[in-house]
Amino acid sequence: MQLIPSIRLTMSRLILCLASIAALAAPALAQQSNATWKPDTGDTAWILVSAALVLLMTPALAFFYGGMVRRKNVLNTLLLSFGAAAVVGVAWVVVGYSLAFAPGNDFIGGFHYLFLNNVGYDAAPLAPTIPHQAFMIYQCMFAIITPALISGAVVERVKFKPFLIFCLLWSLLVYAPVAHWVWGGGWLGKLGALDFAGGAVVHVNAGFAALVAALIVGRRRDHQVMPLRPHNLPFTLLGAGLLWFGWFGFNAGSALSSGQLATVAFVNTNIAAAAAMLVWMVLDHLARREVTALGAASGAVAGLVGITPAAGFVSPMSALAVGAITALVCYYSANWRAKSTLDDSLDAFAVHGVGGACGAILTGIFATAALKGINPIASAGLLEGGIQQVGIQILGVVVVIAYTMIVSFILFKILDRIWGLRVDEECEHRGLDISTHGEDAYGESFA
């Protein structure tokens, strides 16, 4: 009975806090609600649909990952992605968006958009045909899925609560600054780095943080002791299909309009995914005389990762080459990882980190100035004589790798010291579904 007053007090404080946040944002929104500016309805509709597509990618990722783990850990694996959607979705509107996109310096945004102050229904500064809030919520979906990707490296042994705290802190201290560097007016964007939809900001960033996570949390106790087979490959194929579907919002939506550039990115996205899946299946057949469902799904995702930075900068045939080359690189990266002592459980590093870096560099090779008429920042890549573009792309990749690995290492070490990152041996043996959440995905007969 003594617990009830404590709960009431906590709820009262939470309501008061939320009311204070709403009060802070209200004046700015009231000033902007009477603006005479009118958005382009087609562009706005496309961005809102694209935002929904990108949000779908997070539960899609959850199923893609969930099918690859053992049945005793599937709920926990799903919830690591869903939990990221919760904590980052709140952090983004409170402070994350401001750090990424508010006016600031070359390295970080300011606090002009704190609590969504000055983020209303007028034109978005970086997308003048759509409302500012539409741009903000679209970018929120990128911020949500990026730390969720990291979970694939440490599933089946990482503690749930410390990992969500890591997602919260990482989204503010790593994702937001890197997004500002590239998209928010920061130094990499000014230098001329090309990253259409998140090759460096999302995939290199998350993939190399995943490498740090796998090294610090350590291997599963059964790793290389017994086969750790996927428990539900139909889940993985479903997740891959939904990721492919959502990726059209991820890449084509990054045009921030519904016109020609969105069409270029949309077409390139599908071509690269198809080419990459085909290459992975061929490599599987050559190596094993069989085509696996897991390989096909991994190939499609690798192609989608590779084309992400290049989607609005290359021709369709170049997109085919980007997808094929990225699949080749990621295939051998994943095979190397499987033979090594690194327990990157679901190849978050081998596909997203390596694939993102590969795609970013290939962007510098295949970028074409012919798209400058519909994409003002398009430039000539190596094949058109733009050797400096390759150098800029490599620099961007190296800097993001260094930054995310250093800050991720510090965050993981602090969280490990305070709470511990890894479940104990008994919890790992029983499975994290029961030991962490008190639930069983398939009933006791499957425990």
Can you give 18-30 as a three-state secondary structure string? HHHHHHHHHHHHH
Residue 35 has a pLDDT of 54
Residue 24 has a pLDDT of 53
Task: Tell me 352's DSSP state.
Answer: I
Nearest to 51 by CA among 243, 263, 196, 249: 249
Q: Which residue in the block uniquely carries the two structure tokens 């919830």?
A: 79
Q: Provide the CA 46 distance to its chain's centre, in angstroms.
A: 20
Token readout for 86 is 């919760």
Cα dihedral angle (334, 293, 265, 56), rounded to 10 degrees?
Answer: -100
Q: Which residues contact 221 (CB under 8 A, 6 or more apart)?
A: 157, 425, 428, 429
d(Cα 165, Cα 84) in Å, to the nearest integer? 9
Topology given in CATH for the domain delimited by 43-446 = Ammonium transporter fold (1.10.3430)
- In this prediction, residue 21 has a pLDDT band, given cuts at 50, 70 and 90, of low
What phi, psi does 159 have (nearest 5°)?
A: -70, 140
Q: Compute the average pLDDT of residues 158-162.
A: 98
Residue 443 has a pLDDT of 80
Of 31-40, 91-100, 140-149, 219-228, the poorest mean pLDDT is in: 31-40
Q: Provide the CA 328 distance to its chain's centre, in angstroms.
A: 22
- Alpha-helix residue ranges (DSSP H) falling in 72-219: 74-91, 97-101, 132-150, 160-170, 176-182, 187-191, 205-217
Please provide the distance, in angstroms rounded to a whole number, between the alpha carbons at the two ends of the chain.
35
Cα dihedral angle (323, 327, 330, 335), rounded to 10 degrees?
Answer: 180
d(Cα 272, Cα 314) in Å, to the nearest integer? 11
Q: Residue 272: pLDDT above 60?
A: yes
Nearest to 65 by CA among 143, 156, 157: 156
List, in sequence order, every beta strand (DSSP E) within 163-282: none
DSSP string, 355-378: HHHHHHHHHHHH--GGGGGT-TT-
Q: Could you read off the pLDDT of 395-444 as tens digits, one per residue?
A: 999 999 999 999 999 999 999 999 999 999 999 999 999 999 999 999 86
Residue pair 131/124 in contact by the 8 Å Cβ criterion: yes
What phi, psi does 184 have (nearest 5°)?
A: -100, 15
Q: What is the pLDDT of the chain when averaged over all its residues?
A: 93
List 109's β-bridge partners, or say none.
104
The size of the chain, in residues, is 447
d(Cα 69, Cα 262) in Å, to the nearest integer? 36
Q: Compute the average pLDDT of residues 305-317.
A: 98
Q: Could you read off the pLDDT of 371-409 as tens digits, one per residue?
A: 999 999 999 999 999 999 999 999 999 999 999 999 999
Burial of 373 (0-12, 13-18, 19+ CB in 10 A): exposed
d(Cα 35, Cα 415) in Å, to the nearest integer? 46
d(Cα 217, Cα 376) in Å, to the nearest integer? 44
Q: Could you read off the pLDDT of 223-261 as tens digits, one per residue?
A: 988 889 999 999 999 999 999 999 999 999 999 999 999
d(Cα 275, Cα 319) in Å, to the nearest integer? 9
Residue pair 72/430 in contact by the 8 Å Cβ criterion: yes
Q: Could you read off the pLDDT of 67-88 as tens digits, one per residue?
A: 999 999 999 999 999 999 999 9
d(Cα 303, Cα 180) in Å, to the nearest integer? 25
Token readout for 51 is 């935002």
Nearest to 312 by CA among 183, 138, 129: 183
Nearest to 98 by CA among 171, 163, 150: 171
Nearest to 366 by CA among 312, 328, 304: 312
Task: Tell me 185's DSSP state.
Answer: S
Q: Provide the CA 421 distance to its chain's centre, in angstroms.
A: 22
